[in-house]
Protein backbone atom coordinates (compact mmCIF):
# COMPACT_ATOMS: atom_id res chain seq x y z
CA UNK A 1 0.00 0.00 0.00
CA UNK A 2 1.68 3.23 -1.09
CA UNK A 3 1.61 6.17 1.24
CA UNK A 4 0.63 9.59 0.02
CA UNK A 5 1.69 12.24 2.49
CA UNK A 6 0.83 15.64 1.22
CA UNK A 7 -0.59 17.49 4.19
CA UNK A 8 1.79 18.00 7.07
CA UNK A 9 0.58 19.38 10.33
CA UNK A 10 2.38 19.85 13.61
CA UNK A 11 1.70 17.38 16.38
CA UNK A 12 -1.13 18.57 18.56
CA UNK A 13 0.63 18.12 21.85
CA UNK A 14 0.87 21.04 24.22
CA UNK A 15 3.84 21.73 26.45
CA UNK A 16 1.93 20.06 29.25
CA UNK A 17 2.11 16.85 27.26
CA UNK A 18 -1.67 16.76 26.85
CA UNK A 19 -3.48 16.57 23.52
CA UNK A 20 -4.61 20.02 22.45
CA UNK A 21 -8.32 19.20 22.78
CA UNK A 22 -8.05 17.66 26.21
CA UNK A 23 -5.89 20.55 27.37
CA UNK A 24 -8.48 23.12 26.35
CA UNK A 25 -11.80 21.56 27.25
CA UNK A 26 -13.47 20.44 30.44
CA UNK A 27 -13.63 16.81 31.50
CA UNK A 28 -16.38 15.79 29.15
CA UNK A 29 -17.19 14.21 25.87
CA UNK A 30 -14.78 15.25 23.13
CA UNK A 31 -16.44 17.09 20.26
CA UNK A 32 -14.01 16.26 17.44
CA UNK A 33 -16.08 14.03 15.16
CA UNK A 34 -14.06 11.20 13.69
CA UNK A 35 -14.77 7.90 11.95
CA UNK A 36 -12.09 5.90 13.71
CA UNK A 37 -10.45 6.12 17.13
CA UNK A 38 -7.05 4.45 17.29
CA UNK A 39 -5.92 3.33 20.73
CA UNK A 40 -2.12 3.44 21.14
CA UNK A 41 0.47 5.78 19.62
CA UNK A 42 3.04 3.08 18.91
CA UNK A 43 4.02 2.14 15.36
CA UNK A 44 0.92 0.05 14.68
CA UNK A 45 -1.48 2.73 15.92
CA UNK A 46 0.22 5.57 14.08
CA UNK A 47 0.62 3.66 10.84
CA UNK A 48 -3.05 2.63 11.01
CA UNK A 49 -3.98 6.28 11.50
CA UNK A 50 -1.81 7.39 8.56
CA UNK A 51 -3.25 4.77 6.22
CA UNK A 52 -6.82 5.50 7.32
CA UNK A 53 -6.37 9.23 6.69
CA UNK A 54 -4.94 8.40 3.31
CA UNK A 55 -8.16 6.51 2.60
CA UNK A 56 -10.25 9.53 3.57
CA UNK A 57 -11.24 8.60 7.13
CA UNK A 58 -11.19 11.11 9.98
CA UNK A 59 -9.07 9.68 12.77
CA UNK A 60 -7.98 10.44 16.33
CA UNK A 61 -5.30 8.64 18.32
CA UNK A 62 -5.56 8.10 22.06
CA UNK A 63 -2.39 7.22 23.97
CA UNK A 64 -1.97 6.24 27.62
CA UNK A 65 1.48 7.68 28.24
CA UNK A 66 2.87 11.18 27.84
CA UNK A 67 4.87 10.36 24.75
CA UNK A 68 4.69 9.02 21.22
CA UNK A 69 6.28 5.74 20.18
CA UNK A 70 5.28 2.97 22.58
CA UNK A 71 8.05 0.39 22.51
CA UNK A 72 10.14 2.57 20.21
CA UNK A 73 11.79 4.82 22.77
CA UNK A 74 15.10 6.65 22.47
CA UNK A 75 16.88 8.54 25.21
CA UNK A 76 19.98 10.69 25.35
CA UNK A 77 22.07 9.07 28.04
CA UNK A 78 25.34 10.83 28.75
CA UNK A 79 25.51 12.37 25.27
CA UNK A 80 24.66 9.17 23.38
CA UNK A 81 21.25 8.33 21.94
CA UNK A 82 20.36 4.96 23.40
CA UNK A 83 17.44 2.83 22.29
CA UNK A 84 15.52 1.79 25.38
CA UNK A 85 13.14 -0.08 23.09
CA UNK A 86 13.45 -1.29 19.50
CA UNK A 87 17.00 -0.86 18.28
CA UNK A 88 17.40 -2.56 14.90
CA UNK A 89 15.65 -2.12 11.58
CA UNK A 90 16.03 -5.45 9.79
CA UNK A 91 16.88 -5.76 6.13
CA UNK A 92 13.40 -7.03 5.27
CA UNK A 93 11.61 -4.14 7.01
CA UNK A 94 10.01 -2.68 3.88
CA UNK A 95 7.27 -0.72 5.64
CA UNK A 96 9.50 0.80 8.31
CA UNK A 97 12.03 1.83 5.67
CA UNK A 98 9.39 3.15 3.28
CA UNK A 99 7.68 5.32 5.89
CA UNK A 100 10.99 6.60 7.28
CA UNK A 101 12.11 7.56 3.78
CA UNK A 102 8.82 9.25 2.94
CA UNK A 103 8.93 11.26 6.13
CA UNK A 104 12.43 12.39 5.27
CA UNK A 105 14.19 10.55 8.09
CA UNK A 106 17.76 9.48 7.51
CA UNK A 107 18.66 5.86 8.20
CA UNK A 108 22.14 4.87 9.27
CA UNK A 109 23.72 1.45 9.82
CA UNK A 110 23.84 0.04 13.34
CA UNK A 111 27.60 0.10 13.67
CA UNK A 112 28.22 -0.07 17.39
CA UNK A 113 31.22 -2.28 18.08
CA UNK A 114 30.66 -4.85 20.81
CA UNK A 115 33.59 -6.58 22.51
CA UNK A 116 33.49 -10.40 22.54
CA UNK A 117 32.10 -12.31 25.54
CA UNK A 118 33.85 -13.96 28.38
CA UNK A 119 31.60 -16.49 30.14
CA UNK A 120 30.61 -16.54 33.80
CA UNK A 121 28.91 -19.83 34.59
CA UNK A 122 28.47 -21.56 37.96
CA UNK A 123 30.51 -18.83 39.69
CA UNK A 124 33.50 -19.15 37.37
CA UNK A 125 34.80 -16.77 34.71
CA UNK A 126 36.26 -18.37 31.61
CA UNK A 127 37.16 -17.31 28.10
CA UNK A 128 35.74 -19.15 25.13
CA UNK A 129 38.91 -21.12 24.38
CA UNK A 130 38.72 -22.83 27.77
CA UNK A 131 34.95 -23.33 27.92
CA UNK A 132 34.80 -26.79 26.30
CA UNK A 133 37.26 -28.37 28.72
CA UNK A 134 36.45 -26.47 31.88
CA UNK A 135 35.10 -28.60 34.74
CA UNK A 136 32.19 -26.21 35.37
CA UNK A 137 30.94 -26.83 31.83
CA UNK A 138 28.30 -29.41 32.81
CA UNK A 139 26.78 -29.74 29.36
CA UNK A 140 27.13 -33.08 27.57
CA UNK A 141 28.60 -34.46 24.35
CA UNK A 142 28.56 -32.09 21.38
CA UNK A 143 26.91 -29.39 23.52
CA UNK A 144 30.23 -28.88 25.34
CA UNK A 145 31.90 -27.17 22.41
CA UNK A 146 29.05 -24.71 21.84
CA UNK A 147 29.38 -21.36 23.63
CA UNK A 148 26.52 -20.94 26.14
CA UNK A 149 25.38 -17.83 24.23
CA UNK A 150 24.95 -19.89 21.04
CA UNK A 151 23.36 -23.06 22.45
CA UNK A 152 19.73 -22.11 21.87
CA UNK A 153 20.27 -20.66 18.39
CA UNK A 154 22.34 -23.69 17.37
CA UNK A 155 19.58 -26.13 18.27
CA UNK A 156 16.73 -23.97 17.01
CA UNK A 157 18.50 -23.73 13.65
CA UNK A 158 19.25 -27.45 13.69
CA UNK A 159 15.71 -28.61 14.41
CA UNK A 160 13.60 -25.92 12.78
CA UNK A 161 11.18 -27.78 10.47
CA UNK A 162 9.49 -24.61 9.11
CA UNK A 163 10.32 -24.00 5.48
CA UNK A 164 8.34 -20.84 4.89
CA UNK A 165 7.13 -17.85 6.85
CA UNK A 166 3.52 -19.11 6.81
CA UNK A 167 4.27 -22.61 8.07
CA UNK A 168 3.83 -21.76 11.76
CA UNK A 169 0.07 -21.46 11.18
CA UNK A 170 -0.15 -24.71 9.23
CA UNK A 171 -1.92 -27.46 11.26
CA UNK A 172 0.83 -29.87 10.10
CA UNK A 173 3.07 -28.20 12.68
CA UNK A 174 0.61 -27.83 15.56
CA UNK A 175 2.27 -30.78 17.40
CA UNK A 176 5.14 -28.33 18.01
CA UNK A 177 2.87 -25.98 19.93
CA UNK A 178 4.31 -27.33 23.20
CA UNK A 179 6.77 -25.82 25.70
CA UNK A 180 10.14 -25.35 24.03
CA UNK A 181 11.86 -27.15 26.89
CA UNK A 182 9.71 -30.28 26.42
CA UNK A 183 10.55 -30.29 22.73
CA UNK A 184 14.29 -29.93 23.32
CA UNK A 185 14.27 -32.58 26.05
CA UNK A 186 12.75 -35.02 23.59
CA UNK A 187 15.68 -34.27 21.32
CA UNK A 188 18.07 -35.32 24.10
CA UNK A 189 19.33 -31.87 25.13
CA UNK A 190 20.84 -32.05 28.62
CA UNK A 191 19.33 -30.29 31.65
CA UNK A 192 22.39 -28.05 31.95
CA UNK A 193 22.20 -26.97 28.30
CA UNK A 194 18.51 -26.22 28.82
CA UNK A 195 19.33 -24.13 31.89
CA UNK A 196 21.90 -22.12 29.93
CA UNK A 197 19.58 -21.71 26.94
CA UNK A 198 17.01 -20.17 29.25
CA UNK A 199 19.38 -17.35 30.25
CA UNK A 200 19.07 -14.94 27.35
CA UNK A 201 16.19 -16.46 25.43
CA UNK A 202 13.96 -13.93 23.71
CA UNK A 203 10.77 -15.16 25.39
CA UNK A 204 9.61 -15.31 28.98
CA UNK A 205 10.90 -18.83 29.75
CA UNK A 206 11.63 -21.93 27.68
CA UNK A 207 9.44 -23.93 30.08
CA UNK A 208 6.49 -21.83 28.92
CA UNK A 209 7.09 -20.49 25.43
CA UNK A 210 5.75 -22.52 22.51
CA UNK A 211 8.45 -24.28 20.46
CA UNK A 212 6.41 -23.49 17.36
CA UNK A 213 6.51 -19.79 18.14
CA UNK A 214 10.30 -19.90 18.62
CA UNK A 215 10.68 -21.70 15.28
CA UNK A 216 8.48 -19.07 13.62
CA UNK A 217 10.83 -16.37 14.93
CA UNK A 218 13.85 -18.28 13.61
CA UNK A 219 12.21 -18.53 10.20
CA UNK A 220 11.61 -14.75 10.28
CA UNK A 221 15.22 -14.08 11.30
CA UNK A 222 16.50 -16.36 8.57
CA UNK A 223 14.33 -14.56 6.06
CA UNK A 224 15.94 -11.35 7.34
CA UNK A 225 19.39 -12.66 6.46
CA UNK A 226 20.51 -14.16 9.78
CA UNK A 227 21.70 -17.52 8.50
CA UNK A 228 24.56 -18.61 10.69
CA UNK A 229 23.68 -19.79 14.20
CA UNK A 230 27.32 -19.76 15.27
CA UNK A 231 27.40 -15.97 14.90
CA UNK A 232 26.10 -13.65 17.55
CA UNK A 233 22.80 -12.12 16.52
CA UNK A 234 23.93 -8.69 17.65
CA UNK A 235 27.24 -6.87 17.63
CA UNK A 236 29.94 -6.50 15.03
CA UNK A 237 29.23 -9.88 13.47
CA UNK A 238 25.54 -9.22 12.91
CA UNK A 239 23.70 -8.96 9.64
CA UNK A 240 23.85 -5.27 8.72
CA UNK A 241 20.95 -3.61 10.48
CA UNK A 242 19.81 -0.03 10.46
CA UNK A 243 18.45 2.63 12.74
CA UNK A 244 17.01 6.11 12.42
CA UNK A 245 19.57 8.86 12.72
CA UNK A 246 18.98 10.74 15.96
CA UNK A 247 17.06 7.84 17.52
CA UNK A 248 14.41 5.39 16.35
CA UNK A 249 11.72 7.28 18.26
CA UNK A 250 11.97 10.02 15.66
CA UNK A 251 10.05 7.67 13.34
CA UNK A 252 6.82 7.44 15.39
CA UNK A 253 7.17 11.13 16.28
CA UNK A 254 7.33 12.07 12.60
CA UNK A 255 4.41 9.74 11.87
CA UNK A 256 2.33 11.49 14.53
CA UNK A 257 3.32 14.89 13.13
CA UNK A 258 2.12 13.87 9.68
CA UNK A 259 -1.43 13.19 10.91
CA UNK A 260 -4.35 15.53 10.35
CA UNK A 261 -6.22 14.21 13.38
CA UNK A 262 -5.50 14.80 17.04
CA UNK A 263 -3.21 12.68 19.15
CA UNK A 264 -4.29 12.67 22.78
CA UNK A 265 -1.59 11.77 25.25
CA UNK A 266 -2.05 10.85 28.93
CA UNK A 267 -5.31 9.15 28.00
CA UNK A 268 -5.51 5.68 29.50
CA UNK A 269 -8.48 3.86 28.00
CA UNK A 270 -10.48 2.04 30.70
CA UNK A 271 -13.66 1.00 28.90
CA UNK A 272 -15.09 0.53 25.42
CA UNK A 273 -18.85 0.42 25.13
CA UNK A 274 -21.15 0.09 22.14
CA UNK A 275 -24.34 2.13 22.25
CA UNK A 276 -26.41 4.13 19.78
CA UNK A 277 -24.61 2.70 16.76
CA UNK A 278 -21.27 4.02 18.01
CA UNK A 279 -18.46 3.00 20.29
CA UNK A 280 -17.69 5.15 23.26
CA UNK A 281 -14.32 4.86 24.95
CA UNK A 282 -13.78 6.22 28.43
CA UNK A 283 -10.39 7.23 29.73
CA UNK A 284 -9.00 7.29 33.25
CA UNK A 285 -8.71 11.11 33.00
CA UNK A 286 -12.48 11.42 32.64
CA UNK A 287 -12.47 12.01 28.87
CA UNK A 288 -14.66 10.01 26.54
CA UNK A 289 -14.54 9.67 22.77
CA UNK A 290 -17.00 8.28 20.26
CA UNK A 291 -16.56 6.83 16.80
CA UNK A 292 -18.02 4.18 14.55
CA UNK A 293 -14.84 2.12 14.47
CA UNK A 294 -12.01 1.52 16.89
CA UNK A 295 -8.53 0.21 16.12
CA UNK A 296 -7.03 -1.30 19.27
CA UNK A 297 -3.25 -1.66 19.29
CA UNK A 298 -2.51 -1.96 23.00
CA UNK A 299 -0.46 -4.98 24.04
CA UNK A 300 -2.67 -7.88 25.20
CA UNK A 301 -1.56 -7.51 28.80
CA UNK A 302 -2.82 -3.93 28.80
CA UNK A 303 -6.11 -5.03 27.23
CA UNK A 304 -6.75 -7.04 30.39
CA UNK A 305 -7.50 -3.73 32.11
CA UNK A 306 -10.04 -2.47 29.57
CA UNK A 307 -13.71 -3.31 30.13
CA UNK A 308 -15.69 -4.18 27.02
CA UNK A 309 -19.44 -3.95 26.62
CA UNK A 310 -20.61 -6.11 24.99
CA UNK A 311 -17.92 -8.59 26.01
CA UNK A 312 -15.42 -9.72 23.41
CA UNK A 313 -15.79 -13.25 22.01
CA UNK A 314 -14.76 -15.99 24.44
CA UNK A 315 -11.58 -17.03 22.63
CA UNK A 316 -10.32 -13.49 22.38
CA UNK A 317 -10.99 -12.95 26.08
CA UNK A 318 -9.10 -16.15 26.93
CA UNK A 319 -6.16 -15.06 24.78
CA UNK A 320 -6.08 -11.73 26.62
CA UNK A 321 -6.39 -13.31 30.07
CA UNK A 322 -3.64 -15.84 29.41
CA UNK A 323 -1.25 -13.45 27.64
CA UNK A 324 2.34 -13.27 28.81
CA UNK A 325 5.11 -11.07 27.44
CA UNK A 326 8.81 -11.59 27.12
CA UNK A 327 10.29 -9.11 29.59
CA UNK A 328 13.36 -7.04 28.86
CA UNK A 329 15.40 -4.65 30.98
CA UNK A 330 18.47 -2.58 30.17
CA UNK A 331 20.96 -0.99 32.54
CA UNK A 332 23.45 1.60 31.29
CA UNK A 333 26.92 2.09 32.73
CA UNK A 334 29.88 4.37 32.16
CA UNK A 335 33.36 2.98 32.08
CA UNK A 336 35.67 5.19 34.11
CA UNK A 337 38.66 2.97 33.42
CA UNK A 338 39.12 -0.21 31.39
CA UNK A 339 38.87 -3.33 33.59
CA UNK A 340 39.59 -5.99 30.94
CA UNK A 341 43.20 -4.90 30.47
CA UNK A 342 43.75 -5.82 34.08
CA UNK A 343 42.43 -9.40 34.09
CA UNK A 344 42.91 -10.31 30.42
CA UNK A 345 39.41 -11.72 29.88
CA UNK A 346 37.29 -10.51 26.93
CA UNK A 347 35.46 -7.35 27.98
CA UNK A 348 31.79 -8.28 27.42
CA UNK A 349 30.26 -10.98 29.60
CA UNK A 350 27.62 -13.63 29.20
CA UNK A 351 26.55 -14.78 32.66
CA UNK A 352 24.08 -17.14 34.30
CA UNK A 353 23.37 -14.47 36.94
CA UNK A 354 20.38 -12.09 37.06
CA UNK A 355 22.24 -9.55 34.89
CA UNK A 356 22.60 -12.09 32.08
CA UNK A 357 24.53 -10.18 29.40
CA UNK A 358 27.00 -7.33 29.79
CA UNK A 359 27.76 -5.71 26.44
CA UNK A 360 30.88 -3.53 26.42
CA UNK A 361 30.38 -1.22 23.45
CA UNK A 362 32.39 1.29 21.55
CA UNK A 363 30.50 4.23 20.08
CA UNK A 364 30.83 4.47 16.26
CA UNK A 365 32.92 7.64 16.49
CA UNK A 366 35.21 5.91 19.00
CA UNK A 367 34.38 8.67 21.48
CA UNK A 368 33.66 6.40 24.40
CA UNK A 369 33.17 2.88 25.57
CA UNK A 370 30.09 2.17 27.60
CA UNK A 371 28.13 -0.78 28.88
CA UNK A 372 24.62 -2.03 28.37
CA UNK A 373 23.45 -4.80 30.62
CA UNK A 374 20.65 -6.59 28.79
CA UNK A 375 18.27 -8.88 30.70
CA UNK A 376 15.64 -10.93 28.86
CA UNK A 377 12.58 -12.92 29.86
CA UNK A 378 11.36 -13.75 33.33
CA UNK A 379 14.73 -12.90 34.90
CA UNK A 380 13.67 -9.24 34.55
CA UNK A 381 11.35 -9.92 37.51
CA UNK A 382 14.44 -10.26 39.69
CA UNK A 383 15.79 -6.94 38.39
CA UNK A 384 12.35 -5.31 38.79
CA UNK A 385 12.25 -6.42 42.41
CA UNK A 386 15.37 -4.41 43.26
CA UNK A 387 14.26 -1.05 44.74
CA UNK A 388 15.21 1.86 42.44
CA UNK A 389 17.46 3.43 45.08
CA UNK A 390 19.37 0.16 45.56
CA UNK A 391 19.83 -0.61 41.86
CA UNK A 392 23.27 1.01 41.44
CA UNK A 393 24.72 -0.80 44.43
CA UNK A 394 23.10 -4.09 43.44
CA UNK A 395 24.56 -3.96 39.91
CA UNK A 396 28.05 -2.83 40.94
CA UNK A 397 28.25 -5.47 43.70
CA UNK A 398 27.15 -8.21 41.36
CA UNK A 399 29.66 -7.10 38.72
CA UNK A 400 32.45 -6.96 41.32
CA UNK A 401 31.61 -10.53 42.36
CA UNK A 402 31.62 -11.76 38.76
CA UNK A 403 34.66 -9.76 37.85
CA UNK A 404 36.70 -8.20 40.68
CA UNK A 405 38.62 -6.05 38.17
CA UNK A 406 35.45 -3.94 37.63
CA UNK A 407 35.61 -2.58 41.20
CA UNK A 408 35.73 1.23 41.21
CA UNK A 409 35.84 1.41 37.40
CA UNK A 410 32.15 1.52 36.56
CA UNK A 411 29.26 3.84 37.18
CA UNK A 412 25.56 2.96 36.72
CA UNK A 413 23.87 5.87 34.97
CA UNK A 414 20.41 4.70 33.97
CA UNK A 415 18.10 1.71 33.73
CA UNK A 416 14.78 0.83 32.13
CA UNK A 417 12.57 -2.23 32.43
CA UNK A 418 9.80 -2.98 29.96
CA UNK A 419 8.35 -5.70 32.16
CA UNK A 420 7.77 -3.03 34.81
CA UNK A 421 6.10 -0.75 32.24
CA UNK A 422 2.35 -0.77 32.84
CA UNK A 423 1.56 -0.34 29.13
CA UNK A 424 4.41 -2.14 27.39
CA UNK A 425 5.15 -5.17 29.54
CA UNK A 426 7.94 -6.50 27.39
CA UNK A 427 9.60 -6.97 24.06
CA UNK A 428 6.89 -9.06 22.46
CA UNK A 429 3.86 -11.24 23.04
CA UNK A 430 4.98 -14.71 24.04
CA UNK A 431 2.80 -17.52 22.70
CA UNK A 432 2.44 -20.14 25.45
CA UNK A 433 1.90 -23.86 24.84
CA UNK A 434 -1.16 -24.50 22.69
CA UNK A 435 -1.75 -20.78 22.17
CA UNK A 436 -0.94 -20.71 18.47
CA UNK A 437 -3.45 -23.46 17.84
CA UNK A 438 -6.09 -21.89 20.09
CA UNK A 439 -5.56 -18.15 19.75
CA UNK A 440 -3.62 -17.09 16.66
CA UNK A 441 -6.79 -16.30 14.69
CA UNK A 442 -8.76 -14.97 17.65
CA UNK A 443 -6.05 -12.46 18.61
CA UNK A 444 -6.24 -10.55 15.37
CA UNK A 445 -9.85 -11.07 14.31
CA UNK A 446 -12.15 -8.05 14.25
CA UNK A 447 -15.37 -7.94 16.26
CA UNK A 448 -18.15 -5.74 14.90
CA UNK A 449 -16.57 -2.27 14.74
CA UNK A 450 -13.49 -3.21 16.77
CA UNK A 451 -10.27 -3.95 14.88
CA UNK A 452 -7.11 -5.35 16.43
CA UNK A 453 -3.58 -4.47 15.37
CA UNK A 454 -0.17 -4.51 17.02
CA UNK A 455 2.97 -6.62 17.15
CA UNK A 456 1.07 -9.36 19.04
CA UNK A 457 -1.03 -9.99 15.92
CA UNK A 458 2.15 -10.74 13.95
CA UNK A 459 2.03 -13.11 11.03
CA UNK A 460 5.02 -13.09 8.68
CA UNK A 461 7.12 -10.29 10.18
CA UNK A 462 9.03 -9.42 13.32
CA UNK A 463 8.92 -6.55 15.81
CA UNK A 464 8.46 -3.09 14.32
CA UNK A 465 7.71 -4.43 10.87
CA UNK A 466 5.08 -6.80 12.30
CA UNK A 467 3.44 -3.86 14.07
CA UNK A 468 3.19 -1.93 10.80
CA UNK A 469 2.10 -4.93 8.74
CA UNK A 470 -0.81 -5.35 11.15
CA UNK A 471 -1.90 -1.77 10.36
CA UNK A 472 -2.29 -2.65 6.69
CA UNK A 473 -4.44 -5.62 7.67
CA UNK A 474 -6.81 -3.62 9.89
CA UNK A 475 -7.15 -0.82 7.36
CA UNK A 476 -8.15 -3.29 4.66
CA UNK A 477 -10.61 -4.88 7.12
CA UNK A 478 -12.19 -1.46 7.73
CA UNK A 479 -12.30 -0.77 4.00
CA UNK A 480 -14.05 -4.13 3.47
CA UNK A 481 -16.60 -3.20 6.10
CA UNK A 482 -17.33 0.21 4.62
CA UNK A 483 -17.33 -0.62 0.90
C1 LIG B 1 13.83 -3.57 24.53
C2 LIG B 1 13.15 -3.85 23.21
C3 LIG B 1 13.92 -4.10 22.10
C4 LIG B 1 13.31 -4.32 20.86
N5 LIG B 1 14.11 -4.50 19.78
C6 LIG B 1 13.54 -4.55 18.56
C7 LIG B 1 14.35 -4.51 17.40
O8 LIG B 1 15.58 -4.39 17.47
N9 LIG B 1 13.73 -4.57 16.18
C10 LIG B 1 12.37 -4.66 16.07
O11 LIG B 1 11.85 -4.72 14.96
N12 LIG B 1 11.58 -4.67 17.17
C13 LIG B 1 12.12 -4.60 18.40
N14 LIG B 1 11.33 -4.55 19.52
C15 LIG B 1 9.88 -4.73 19.35
C16 LIG B 1 9.18 -3.46 18.84
O17 LIG B 1 9.53 -2.37 19.66
C18 LIG B 1 7.68 -3.68 18.90
O19 LIG B 1 7.34 -4.85 18.19
C20 LIG B 1 6.87 -2.54 18.29
O21 LIG B 1 7.39 -1.28 18.60
C22 LIG B 1 5.45 -2.69 18.81
O23 LIG B 1 4.62 -1.68 18.26
P24 LIG B 1 3.08 -1.72 18.61
O25 LIG B 1 2.48 -0.52 18.02
O26 LIG B 1 2.50 -3.04 18.25
O27 LIG B 1 3.00 -1.66 20.22
P28 LIG B 1 3.47 -0.52 21.19
O29 LIG B 1 4.66 0.18 20.69
O30 LIG B 1 3.55 -1.16 22.55
O31 LIG B 1 2.26 0.52 21.17
C32 LIG B 1 1.09 0.32 21.92
C33 LIG B 1 0.73 1.66 22.56
O34 LIG B 1 -0.49 1.49 23.27
C35 LIG B 1 -0.43 2.28 24.42
N36 LIG B 1 -1.40 1.78 25.38
C37 LIG B 1 -1.35 0.65 26.13
N38 LIG B 1 -2.44 0.55 26.89
C39 LIG B 1 -3.21 1.62 26.62
C40 LIG B 1 -4.46 2.08 27.11
N41 LIG B 1 -5.16 1.40 28.04
N42 LIG B 1 -4.97 3.24 26.63
C43 LIG B 1 -4.29 3.95 25.67
N44 LIG B 1 -3.10 3.56 25.18
C45 LIG B 1 -2.57 2.41 25.65
C46 LIG B 1 1.00 2.10 24.88
O47 LIG B 1 1.40 3.11 25.80
C48 LIG B 1 1.75 2.15 23.57
O49 LIG B 1 2.17 3.44 23.25
C50 LIG B 1 11.90 -4.33 20.76
C51 LIG B 1 11.12 -4.08 21.89
C52 LIG B 1 11.73 -3.83 23.11
C53 LIG B 1 10.87 -3.52 24.31
Q: Are 258 and 305 members of one domain?
A: yes
Find the 252 Cα to ligand 1 centroid distance in Å.
11
Residue ID of nearest Cα to ligand 1 atom 48: 70
Ligand 1 atom nearest to 44, measured from its CA: 25
Instruction: Compute the distance between CA of residue 315 and CA of residue 396 in angstroms, rounded to an integer.
Output: 46
The residue ranking higher by pLDDT, 65 or 11, is: 65
Residues 86-97 have a mean pLDDT of 92
Q: Does residue 380 have a pLDDT over 60?
A: yes
Rounded to whole angstroms, the Cα distance separating 150 from 356 reads 14
- By most ligand atoms within 8 Å of CB, the mutation choice from 73, 271, 463 for ligand 1 is 463
- Inside any domain, residue 362: yes
Please state the atom number of ligand 1 nearest to the C-alpha of residue 84.
1
| Same-domain status, 41 and 57 | yes
Same domain, 379 and 408: yes
Tell me which of 375, 396, 417 is where a domain ends: 417
> What span, in angstroms and rounded, lies between the C-alpha atoms of 171 and 178?
13
Cβ neighbours around 469 below 10 Å, total: 23
pLDDT at residue 75, as a whole number? 97
| Alpha helix ranges (H) inside 372-434 | 380-384, 391-402
Query: Which of 62, 226, 298 gets mutated to test ligand 1 (max ligand atoms within 8 A of its CB)?
Result: 298
pLDDT for 16: 35
The helix (run of H) or strand (run of E) holding residue 270 is strand 269-275
Compute the Cα dihedral for 296, 302, 304, 307 and give only its sign: negative
What does the pLDDT look like over 45-81, one tens digit per residue?
Answer: 999 999 999 999 999 999 999 999 999 999 999 888 9
- Expressed in angstroms and rounded, the spacing between residue 184 Cα and the centre of ligand 1 is 30
Average pLDDT over residues 18-41: 64
Write out pLDDT tens, residues 210-243: 999 999 999 988 887 777 777 665 554 555 679 9
* CATH code (residue 383): 3.90.660.10
Same domain, 185 and 310: no
**Pair (156, 223) in one structural domain:** yes
Distance CA 233, CA 372 (A): 16
CA of 45 relative to ligand 1 center, distance in Å: 10
Judge whether 396 lies within some domain: yes
Residue 320 and residue 459 in one domain:
yes
Average pLDDT over the chain, rounded to an integer: 90
Select from 417, 438, 470 the last residue of a domain. 417
Q: In this predicted structure, what is the pLDDT of residue 30?
A: 59
Q: Please name which of 84, 35, 38 lies closest in space to residue 63, comparing C-alpha atoms.
A: 38
Q: In CATH, what number is assigned to the domain containing residue 462?
A: 3.50.50.60
Q: Is the dihedral of CA 230, 236, 242, 248 positive or negative?
A: positive
Q: Stretch 421-434: mean pLDDT, rounded?
A: 91
Domain assignment present for 27: yes
The bridge status of strand 357-362 relative to strand 113-114 is antiparallel
pTM: 0.93
pLDDT band at 2 (very low <50, low <70, confident <90, very high): very low
Instruction: Give me ligand 1 centre to Cα 405, in Å.
Output: 37
Cis amide bond preceding 393, omega within 30:
no
**Residue 2 lies inside a defined structural domain of this protein:** no
Residues 351 and 469 occupy one common structural domain: no
408: left (phi over 0), alpha (psi -120 to 50) or beta: left
377 shares a domain with 252: no
For residue 167, the model assigns a pLDDT of 96
Q: Are residues 319 and 333 in the same domain?
A: no
Whether 83 and 247 have beta carbons less than 8 Å apart is answered as yes
What HEC string does 102-151 produce? HCCCCEEECCCEECCEEEEECCEEECHHHHCCCCCCCCCHHHHHCCHHHH
Average pLDDT over residues 337-358: 95
Is residue 237 one of the residues assigned to a domain?
A: no
Q: Which of 155, 201, 208, 159 is nearest to 180 (CA)?
A: 208
Instruction: Take atom 35 of ligand 1 and give the residue whose Cα is closest.
Output: 40
> Can you tell me the distance from the alpha carbon of 100 to that of 19, in angstroms, rounded to the nearest whole number?
24
Residue 138: inside a domain: yes
Domain boundary residue, one of 392, 417, 442: 417
Q: Is there a domain that residue 276 lies in?
A: yes
Q: The domain containing residue 32 runs over which residues?
A: 20-70+247-324+428-482
Spacing, Cα 456 to ligand 1 middle (Å): 9
299 lines ligand 1 (CB under 6 A): yes
265 ligand 1 Cβ < 6 A: no
Query: 332 and 408 share a domain?
Result: yes
The arithmetic mean of pLDDT across residues 361-367, rounded, is 79
Judgement on whether residues 411 and 339 belong to the same structural domain of the protein: yes
Provide the percentage of residues in the chain whose pLDDT is more than 70: 92
Q: Give residue-wise pLDDT tens across range 395-416.
A: 999 999 999 999 999 999 999 9
Q: Answer whether residue 284 shows pLDDT above 70.
A: yes
Instruction: Give the number of the atom of ligand 1 that is nearest the alpha carbon of residue 455.
Output: 26
Atom of ligand 1 nearest to the CA of 330: 1
The tally of domains found in the chain comes to 3
Mean pLDDT (whole number) for 311-317 = 96
Whole-number pLDDT of residue 221: 85
In a domain, 100, yes or no: no
Q: What is the pLDDT of residue 14?
A: 31
pLDDT bucket at 9, cuts 50 / 70 / 90:
very low
Atom 1 of ligand 1 has which residue's CA nearest to it?
85
User: What integer pLDDT is reported at residue 233 of this predicted model?
Assistant: 57
Same domain, 122 and 135: yes
217 lines ligand 1 (CB under 6 A): no
Q: Is the CB of 117 under 6 A from ligand 1?
A: no
Report, as an integer, the average pLDDT of 380-392: 95
Which of ligand 1's atoms lies nearest the C-alpha of 466?
Answer: 19
List the Cα angle 446/450/455 in 5-degree steps. Answer: 65
Alpha carbons within 13 A on the beta-carbon side of 114:
21
The average pLDDT across 175-197 equals 98
Amino acid sequence: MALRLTRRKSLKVGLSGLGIISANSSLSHSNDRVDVTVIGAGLSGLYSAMLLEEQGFKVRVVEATNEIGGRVKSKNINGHIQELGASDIGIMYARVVDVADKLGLERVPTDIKVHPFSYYVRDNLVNLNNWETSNFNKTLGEERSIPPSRLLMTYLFKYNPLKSLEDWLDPRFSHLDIPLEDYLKEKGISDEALRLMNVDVNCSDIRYSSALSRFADIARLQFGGYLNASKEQYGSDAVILGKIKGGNQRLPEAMAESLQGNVYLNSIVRSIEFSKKEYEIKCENGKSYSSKFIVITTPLTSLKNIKFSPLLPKEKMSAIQEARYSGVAKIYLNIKKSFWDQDGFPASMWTDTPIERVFVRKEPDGSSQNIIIWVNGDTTKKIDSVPKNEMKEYILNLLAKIRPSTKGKLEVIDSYSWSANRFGMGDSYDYGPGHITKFSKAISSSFNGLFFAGEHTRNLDLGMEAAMASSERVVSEILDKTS
